[in-house]
Amino acid sequence: QLHEYGVEFTIDENERMELIRELNMAQIKMRKNELFVDGRFISGTHVQYFADLYKNGDNNGN
């Protein structure tokens, strides 16, 4: 069973602008199909990701 949770952040205007800039840069890289070297990303849906984890025996979140 898959649950979804939400988080709300309170940030000032400068932090918001920096976050928007970073997200825009990530969006540009994604559109160009550039590989991300920082972080872990999935290419399918979150549902498929967790189904694959469960199928491969990693149902403890490890």
Angstrom distance (rounded) from CA 53 to CA 62: 9
Predicted TM-score (pTM) above 0.75: no
pLDDT of residue 39: 66
**Segments in the chain forming alpha helices (H):** 13-31, 46-55
pLDDT of residue 20: 94
pLDDT of residue 56: 84
35 has a pLDDT exceeding 90: no
What does the domain layout of the chain look like in residue ranges? 1-62
pLDDT in tens, 6-30: 888 899 999 999 999 999 988 888 7
